[in-house]
Amino acid sequence: MSMDTTLVPEPYVWSEPPLGDAKSAPTRFYTDPAVFKAEVTHIHLKHWFFAGRVEEVPNPGDYKTLQSVGGPVMLVRGEDGVLRAFANFCRHRASILLEGCGNTPNIICPYHAWNYRLDGSLAGAPGMREVPKFEKPPHGLIPIRMELWEGSIFLNYDDGAPGLMEHLGNMPELVGSHRLGDMVKTWHMEIETRCNWKLLLENAMETYHTGIVHAATVGAQRSVSFPTRGNWHVIQVQARRSIAVLGQEPPFPAIEGLTEQAQQGTFFTVIEPTVQFVYAQDCMWWLAVRPIAVDRTVLSVGGCFPKAYTELPDFAERAGPYYNRWEAVALEDVGILERQQVGLSSCLARPGPLSWRDDMVLAMNHWVMARLPPALVDDMMADGW
Ligand code: FES
Ligand SMILES: [Fe+2]
């Protein structure tokens, strides 16, 4: 089935409960450490998460490290040019191996100097020759399942999970004309927030708040929702001019060859469970969340432009307003979400009625709840859905 680009937008995507009965999720969904623990087990360790862009590690020996819900991770490009992902700890006694990013001919443990090749195999283990039965081959770095889509790196701790393309469903069709694979990442920021990971993504999928929270920046917006196939959601903020900059003519032209639908506005997508990809007419940016605790989340915001734009002599000057906008709007959102987290922790907090403009909040609540143990969800609901 292909996405019909003339699709009539639908005002909301859920079939039940009826609109008038829809409520926000029980407060425990955002505040209960037991719910968070269940999410890690049943959602985060079983689904694809975004780990960066291939152009961040272009050459043999290039590496980049990141933290994930499942622990420290390294992305390494081998001598053979192949990008691989490994658990970033030593097979001797688990010291972290690499930090930050850079280029290295091999990976040497800073604790007892076991050393690994870029393909993860163990090359040397000082003093271990005297250990009876010790063999190097079983003690290479532990690989993590990785798939690439249009230059974006996704990892999954579950070797039995469906492939990335199956997970993405028909998303690649809707945003194909943006040609994300021809873009390069040029900017990135990370902040630690004091709110639940789901609040960051729910907020990023509704325009109900934009005229208020972002009165001084992006202002009021209008959006429509589309039905999707796969584990993702989308709204389109309607504006024929890029909304990736504030109140000025966009410094870059629209990407050539965008579909008529893509020219009409900006697609805000969420690829469940933890990343938003936003496609404006002239760029793409992401919001990726890394849950740490029920009320603590690292938010990563990054931006990509078509490679041809990045080669313009005045690229940096032109791109500045985009970075300013991404940072300012993200900080405005985090400010309100941290207030929301405090409110949700009240012993008197109860689910409130949702607006039709909260349609994606509900859709995303449903996606998560459908993957939690039913007994836990029933227990939460007893608190008053
Ligand atoms: S922990 Fe790495 S060599 Fe000992
Ligand atoms: Fe916002």
pLDDT digits (tens, 9 = 90+) for 44-78: 999 999 999 999 999 999 999 999 999 999 999 99
In a domain, 158, yes or no: no
Q: Are residues 82 and 37 in the same domain?
A: no
Residue 9 has pLDDT above 60, yes or no: no
CA distance 359 to 19: 9
In a domain, 193, yes or no: yes
Q: Are residues 68 and 25 in the same domain?
A: no
Distances (CA, A) of 300 to 57, 85, 286: 18, 19, 8
Q: Looking at residue 22, what is its pLDDT? A: 84
Q: Given 121, 145, 169, which residue is the final one in a domain?
A: 145
From the CB of 111, is ligand 1 less than 6 Å away? yes
**Domain tally, the chain:** 2
In a domain, 53, yes or no: no
From the CB of 141, is ligand 1 less than 6 Å away? no
Q: Given 101, 130, 145, which residue is the final one in a domain?
A: 145
Residue 18 has pLDDT above 90, yes or no: no
Ligand 1 site-directed mutation target among 86, 88, 109, most atoms within 8 Å of CB: 109
CA distance 258 to 16: 34
Domain containing 293 — which CATH number?
Answer: 3.90.380.10
Contact 98, 63 (CB under 8 A): yes
In a domain, 168, yes or no: no
From the CB of 345, is ligand 1 less than 6 Å away? no
Q: Looking at residue 356, what is its pLDDT? A: 86
Write out pLDDT tens, residues 325-336. 999 999 999 999
Domain containing 131 — which CATH number?
Answer: 2.102.10.10
- From the alpha carbon of 112, which atom of ligand 1 is closest? 3
Write out pLDDT tens, residues 261-301. 999 999 999 999 999 999 999 999 999 999 999 999 999 99
CA contacts within 13 A on the Cβ side of 241:
8
Q: Are residues 265 and 349 in the same domain?
A: yes
Q: Are residues 359 and 263 in the same domain?
A: yes
Q: Are residues 282 and 206 in the same domain?
A: yes
Q: Are residues 222 and 297 in the same domain?
A: yes
Q: Looking at residue 104, what is its pLDDT? A: 98
- Nearest ligand to the CA of 206 is 2
Q: Are residues 70 and 196 in the same domain?
A: no
In a domain, 97, yes or no: yes
Write out pLDDT tens, residues 234-248. 999 999 999 999 988
Q: Given 103, 122, 145, which residue is the final one in a domain?
A: 145
Q: Is 191 helix (H, G, I), strand (E, B) or coil?
A: strand
Within 10 Å of residue 360's Cβ, how many Cβ atoms? 24
Instruction: Mention every residue, 6+ apart, whose C-beta is less than 8 A from residue 48.
Output: 147, 154, 155, 156, 161, 164, 167, 271
Nearest to 11 by CA among 206, 143, 259: 206
Contact 153, 62 (CB under 8 A): no
In a domain, 164, yes or no: no
Q: Are residues 199 and 313 in the same domain?
A: yes
Q: Are residues 285 and 359 in the same domain?
A: yes
From the CB of 287, is ligand 1 less than 6 Å away? no
Write out pLDDT tens, residues 21-44. 788 999 999 999 999 999 999 999
Q: Is the peptide bond before 72 cis (omega within 30 degrees of 0)?
A: no
Which residue lies with its CA nearest to atom 1 of ligand 1? 93
From the CB of 109, is ligand 1 less than 6 Å away? yes
Q: Looking at residue 382, what is its pLDDT? A: 84
CA contacts within 13 A on the Cβ side of 56:
22
Ligand 1 site-directed mutation target among 99, 111, 116, 122, most atoms within 8 Å of CB: 111
In a domain, 294, yes or no: yes
> What does pLDDT average to over the chain?
94
Q: Are residues 269 and 237 in the same domain?
A: yes
In a domain, 129, yes or no: yes
Which residue lies with its CA nearest to atom 4 of ligand 1? 112
Mean pLDDT computed over 124-138: 96
- Nearest ligand to the CA of 213 is 2
Cα 108 to ligand 1 centroid, rounded to whole Å: 9
From the CB of 95, is ligand 1 less than 6 Å away? yes
Q: Are residues 40 and 72 in the same domain?
A: no
Q: Are residues 336 and 191 in the same domain?
A: yes
pLDDT classification of 14: cutoffs 50, 70, 90: very low
CA distance 206 to 358: 6
From the CB of 126, is ligand 1 less than 6 Å away? no
What backbone phi and psi angles, to 5 degrees, belong to 216? Answer: -90, -5
Residue 8 has pLDDT above 90, yes or no: no
Mean pLDDT computed over 202-215: 96
The residue behind tokens 């081998």 is: 78
Write out pLDDT tens, residues 148-177. 999 999 999 999 999 999 999 999 999 999
- Residue 122's domain spans which residues? 59-145
Residue 6 has pLDDT above 90, yes or no: no
